[in-house]
A and B are shown apart, each in its own frame.
Chain A
């Protein structure tokens, strides 16, 4: 150990605590508003006892799970090809795929709606999952490909020597080794699909199909309307927003352990 390390460690700890606290202030503010009188903690109970809540959660879970599977699958396959295989038009195709990241989402609404209608997928989970995945795959392809670029090419050579096909090399070597970044893909896709608002609005019709992101808005409407009669204070909205955000927080915390575990286990040496 080098001299001065101990005081540096105290300084680091102090710095970390200060920075984190400052960054948490907005959340503390919202938390504070969510339990403001007269409702107090009752604000949360009020939202929790709403009968629609479980269905909204379920809808979002189905949509998110489907989007994750489709996105991670398509993106991993494509990333492997871009990172580890040699083929004509590789860069052209990568750039083509990247065009997705340049598309302002709001302009895609009408063509997407027309398409989903044409496929008879309007007001279905799949109708929501397909476009969500389509817009997520390119980004995650880059993320995974970038990670795979960091995996030594010698691993591929070794796989071929062991008699693996390309798919074998992908399935048995690259995919397992890319688990740390897959965790990121899963977390980010979950967040993206869970928090998306515009697509469910356009592609779903019935309220029982609505996702949490849509529900957040109807809660805001209700809170605004009912607060006039003093029945529900406007602060219930903050409680509702916290509860609607809760699943993302919980899932993130769970994935965080897997994520840190994978990264620190040093899969890449």
Chain B
């Protein structure tokens, strides 16, 4: 019989539509981050570093990239004989087959998986945050408080509190009330979407709420537990935690990694972030180059200048090209004599010679100003950008282009050019 003290359920099924074209073909947790990682590497590494060796990963939106990244869990030592990682997509049932309709609904539909692990505690995680956390310490706290539910919370500035779910606690950190995105917050402890449930409490709540449409932790399960007067505690976390939900916060979080001693330090010896490394060789830096304040992944070849940027693995940056304040993901090839400014270029792109990205004045994006803003140029994976193209700010490109498709060989600021049926 299997017995696991605590198992983790990692919600990785969301699209993350505010990351725009980056999530057209992959779920947000699969989006590359920090040169060689993907966002899901952070919670997965936290799990194994915390001694949680049984993880169910719930997938739904575009799971291919996620599935092949996780595989049998080898990079995280989660390829276990007992436990390990299990990918849990929605599945057909005898009655009422449905997609995962909400965070808690997804967990509810996998109650058999959890049961089979025979856990005392279940840790609920989401796959879209960058942080390092020892879940074992949180579990100790849970036990110490004799809690039924523990919610990891972070103090946030009062003015920002209205963007979060806010927990109101008494002097013992017991949660007495909470508010979802309050207009006038009564506290500043924001929920990080990380919960530890005692298994019985979770199971009872899920079964009791089974008929609730779009069953959600924040909206339904936590209120239910409060109604039942369960012991709910806030676990205060004061480290680095970044929601990379929008393109701009994604760009910012990447840029924070290149500080001399960044707040979020990847170079710490004892809390390593693991990932599937497909490219092993060292990087080659040629003559007449200049690299400053940047991180660069394995197997990249640099012939040009890289300033303030995050470069992935297997990237080629041509002679005379200047890359500034940009993110370039795995296996993208940039030609010669280009000038890249504040660009996010996804995996497997080809950028020709003499391409100028991020030129001119900012204009509001014509399709999704809520996504494409802050002057960023976003290029979707596998795009081909022709030689000689000039691209403005707040622009989006997706597809394989020829120079003849652009008027005056340029895409002005604020314009969107998406080919091949990739909506959004």
- A and B: partners? no
Residues on B close to A: CB < 8 A? none
